[in-house]
Structure 1
Amino acid sequence: MTRAVFAIPGDKDRRTGGFLYEATVLRVLNDMGFETAHLQLPDGFPDPSARDMQCALAALRDVPADVPIILDGLVFGAIDPQGLAQVQAPIIAMIHHPLGTETGLSPARAAFLRANEAAALAHTAQVIVPSPHTAQVLTQEFGADPETITVALPGFDRPTRSSAPVDPPLILSVGLLAERKGHDVLLDALSRIRDLDWSAAIVGQAHDPLVADKLRDQCRDLDLCARVRFAGELGEAALRQHFEAASIFALATRYEGYGMVLSEAMLFDLPVVSCHVGAVPETVGGAGLLTPPDDPSAFAAALRRILECPETAAQFSALSKTRANALPTWQDTATIFKTVVQKASP
């Protein structure tokens, strides 16, 4: 008996935080015996063609009225609200962060997505978010009913640590080559600490080819290519090796609805340098140094502080370990999904 449908656009096994979250929850729900079907929607979202929209709405309308649909946020934020209103099955929106808050959007596009997502929220039975911060944004800026929102923090598998930090110290950053991830700020910051001994790796696929090209040009113009490596997208084993080799995790992000990679870094006891934006403060807690966004000078100072002071690095490493030990498991996260599905079921 199918208990729910998880509707995800394109390849659900893409190695980015939101897709890893959803694919893992889908797998664990089924492992728990809570049968949840995968419904693959067109991969054009959040910028669907007319045909993408037509196909997605048709697929959602085909779901039986007694089977709740967990609808991925890339689709939910861009879906036609009037079309969504015609879907008979209860809708559970899975919103990592509202699409209109994405960095780099034109004012008109951001305004459209904000209005569209607010309208779509009127047609949901329940909403799941990965952080208290996203819940607050939805209630305060989008008019969502707080009684319908449930926070399901990402789960994490506990790695068997065999860390072997390399020399010189490796500064590791993991995130799509997209404007929101702030890799341009990181590069600028690294240019300000070239007097110190370090190497850096930026792991992530080119989400936006123009951004990726600009980052490589910037790296060359700053004369950092001998010390900074763009590693591309890595598989699980290779990414783990990078975490084990690193001494600092650095993400100069401009916004995160949760930021799973920050918690992954803490699972490897890494001091974190990131920015005081979105859900980052509640995710990192005291396990790192947070700077204002778009402030390469402050980011460089934070990196310098950890690189120059072993005692500070050890302090933040210990705080990372403590915080990581309190992270939920994927079974915890899937159990929350199960409860929300049951609540939404007719």
Structure 2
Amino acid sequence: MRIGLLTEGGYPYLSGDAGLWCDRLVRGLGQHEFDVYALSRAQHQEEAGWVELPPQVSRMRTAPLWTAEDDGVAYGRRARRRFTESYGELVTALCEGDPPDPASPPGAAAAAQADRFANALYGLAELARDEGGLVGALRSESAVRALERACRAPGALRTAREARVPELLAVAAHLERALRPLSLDWYGDEAGGDGGEGLGAVDLCHATSGGAAALPGLLARHFFDVPLLVTEYGVRLRTHYLSSGTGPSPAGSATAPSATAPSAEAAPAVRALVAAFHGRLAAEVYRQAACVTPGNTHARRWQERCGADRAKLRTVYPGMEASRFAEVGDSLDTADPHTLVWVGRVEPAKDLVSLLHAFAELRQEEPRTRLRIIGAPAGAEGQAYLGHCKVLAAQLFPDEADGPHAVGDNPVSFEEIGGPEAPTLAEAYAAGAVVVLSSVVEGFPVGLVEAMFCGRATVSTDVGAVVEVIGGTGLVVPPRNPRALAEACVALLRDPERRARLGAAARARALELFTVEQNITAFHGIYLELVARAPVRRFLLDDGDPRPFAVPAEACLPGHWTGPDARATAGRGPGRAAGPPARDTSPIAATEGAR
């Protein structure tokens, strides 16, 4: 089968970890053919280059989100009218409130707004496909005037009515950046801009995140009825809400800042209108997707809250490489029974300050214990935070060479992977008997899973998907509670048998749920299921061999399904095959019919 893999800021670019699971997925599904459509987020990302592509990647097309040149397309009068109508409908859907109407059923107004937004979005896409790119039109004065009319219209949100010219310009600029995928030449049936086939020729679109990556999948669904699968290991709408300070923000959630979200210091009108756009787009993506795969229950709850249909949701945990931790997991006796280990990226969200205060309390009970903090700072903010933590450690634990429990140096050490005492990540986890996670916000706790692969007992704060991941194989305490953290660590340090039991159970759970193999197997099954529901449009390959899934499953049943009419229907082109009248095609029904 042929998969259109849609990415944003991840695969196949070298920078960042976002594309790692995509690379493993593509390499693990060598029986399928992949066309990769990648959106880049920054110039330095493109300059860093690509990972080495496996042979099953047959086509590679890229486009930048960070820049867009005006293509010089000059719309005629009819095209300008089409743009004004569609863009005006889109911004109206963002600006209008939800007035109570006792005569309407519950949710009727929200459904009408969703339909208005969707129709306007696809109207713009059809205009771009017919007349050329939208970049110039989206940057035009007509777009700003349409936005202003929507903000001043009766029934508009109060924050929208307060928008002034600078706010209108900011919102219009954001919409132009967010809608850049509409102007791409990826939506061909046969010929794309580079001589290859477009998204209309794939069997399935797999968007590896929501937002911009899912937008091409929406258009392939609209133009060619290609089924859309959306995977979100970090919910993009949540990313926008948290980075801009709008929308709901449940405690314990975390995600990377959005490259397109306005800052929390932006004007209220800008934040409200941009949040409305991303909310409408997410709802449309969830509505049109054939299946949505969150990476954990924490993300799943967010998706449901943002409009995803529960029946379409299927949790697929991220796949991680377990083999590099196998040696450590098999040799638990090498751990220092008096050492705690923290491993991760040094940044304020990890709350190392609470960990240091917890360790100060722990040392009163277990004075021989040491704490190793192993990790590199994340950017300038992380570097400043690391410096603050080192100063705090020096204040809390001055050199104890003259004390009753002399150790000759500070019991807290700050290290990085690759140093003499922690050459590899696996050896970092092997350094201690207990691994600690002290975060105040967390999405999917990758470091916790790595510790589980190593068979280590863990103490974690109850944030994000921690409880779901740990599943009773470790101790969990409230965040920002140094005393509870210290008491849990003391309990494990004093009970080696319990540490061994929890570590063994944690390793077994991680090997069952969080390996690359289970991730690949899950997506392989989903691919087959979705494509089996939506047969591809073309019946023959170039060499004349039948194309997999080109014949509807009903054709295998006895009766008129295998007759000439059905075969003619299966081979129909260029539009998607129109199947025969609906009937029950389950094996039970076929058996009953044979009787």
TM-score tier, shorter chain, comes to 0.7 to 0.9
Q: Which stretch shifts more, 125-134 or 166-175?
A: 166-175
Listed as ranges, the matches of 1:281-300 within 5 Å are: 281-300=467-486
1:189–1:299 contact (8 Å) kept in structure 2:
yes
- For residues 283-341 of structure 1, the C-alpha deviation after alignment (integer angstroms, 9 at most, x for no partner) is 10111111112223322222222223334323322332342343354233212212323
Q: What is the distance in 1 between the residues matched to 2:463 and 2:361?
A: 22
Structure-1 residue corresponding to 2:73: none
- For residues 145-180 of structure 1, the C-alpha deviation after alignment (integer angstroms, 9 at most, x for no partner) is 122222212334342334464547443333333444
Letter matched to residue 92 of structure 1: L
1:312 correspondence with 2:498: yes
Stretches of structure 2 lacking an aligned partner (at least 5 in a row): 44-64, 69-176, 193-197, 247-261, 265-271, 398-409, 535-595
2:413 to 207, 212, 228: 228
Q: CA deviation at 1:268?
A: 1.3
2:39 to 37, 41, 45: 41
1:176–1:205 contact (8 Å) kept in structure 2:
yes
Q: What is the distance in 2 between the residues matched to 1:289 and 1:40?
A: 40
Stretches of structure 1 lacking an aligned partner (at least 5 in a row): none
Letter matched to residue 274 of structure 1: S
2:200 to 58, 61, 65: 65
2:385 to 209, 214, 223: 214
2:362 to 193, 203, 207: 193
**Once superposed, what is the RMSD of the aligned Cα atoms?**
3.6
- For residues 203-237 of structure 1, the C-alpha deviation after alignment (integer angstroms, 9 at most, x for no partner) is 3551x421331233123223167623141689x97
Q: CA deviation at 1:263?
A: 2.2
Q: CA deviation at 1:238?
A: 0.8
Tell me the number of residue pairs that the alignment of Structure 1 and Structure 2 aligns: 335
Q: CA deviation at 1:119?
A: 4.5
1:117 correspondence with 2:117: no
More strand by share: 1
Find the residue that maps to 2:199 and give its secondary structure: coil
Structure showing greater radius of gyration is 2
Q: CA deviation at 1:42?
A: 0.5
Structure-1 residue corresponding to 2:219: 86
Per the normalisation by structure 1, the TM-score is 0.80
Letter matched to residue 317 of structure 1: G
Q: What is the distance in 2 between the residues matched to 1:192 and 1:167?
A: 20
- For residues 245-269 of structure 1, the C-alpha deviation after alignment (integer angstroms, 9 at most, x for no partner) is 2321211233444323322211211
1:191–1:222 contact (8 Å) kept in structure 2:
no
Q: CA deviation at 1:142?
A: 0.9
Structure-2 residue corresponding to 1:203: 375
Q: CA deviation at 1:192?
A: 3.4
Q: CA deviation at 1:125?
A: 3.0
1:333 correspondence with 2:519: yes
Q: What is the distance in 1 between the residues matched to 2:530 and 2:418?
A: 37
Q: What is the distance in 2 between the residues matched to 1:297 and 1:181?
A: 17
2:428 to 242, 256, 269: 242
Q: What is the distance in 2 between the residues matched to 1:119 and 1:3?
A: 21
- For residues 101-130 of structure 1, the C-alpha deviation after alignment (integer angstroms, 9 at most, x for no partner) is 459634136872556534443343321122
2:442–2:464 contact (8 Å) kept in structure 1:
yes
Per the normalisation by structure 2, the TM-score is 0.49
- For residues 33-64 of structure 1, the C-alpha deviation after alignment (integer angstroms, 9 at most, x for no partner) is 1223444320349xx64547566552764642
Higher relative contact order (CA 8 A, sep 6+): 1
Q: What is the distance in 1 between the residues matched to 2:480 and 2:185?
A: 41
2:445–2:465 contact (8 Å) kept in structure 1:
yes
Q: CA deviation at 1:271?
A: 0.7
1:107 correspondence with 2:107: no
Q: CA deviation at 1:81?
A: 8.0
2:447 to 261, 264, 281: 261
Instruction: Label 1:104 to 1:198 Cα distance change in 2 as closer, same or farther (>3 A).
Output: farther
Structure-2 residue corresponding to 1:146: 310
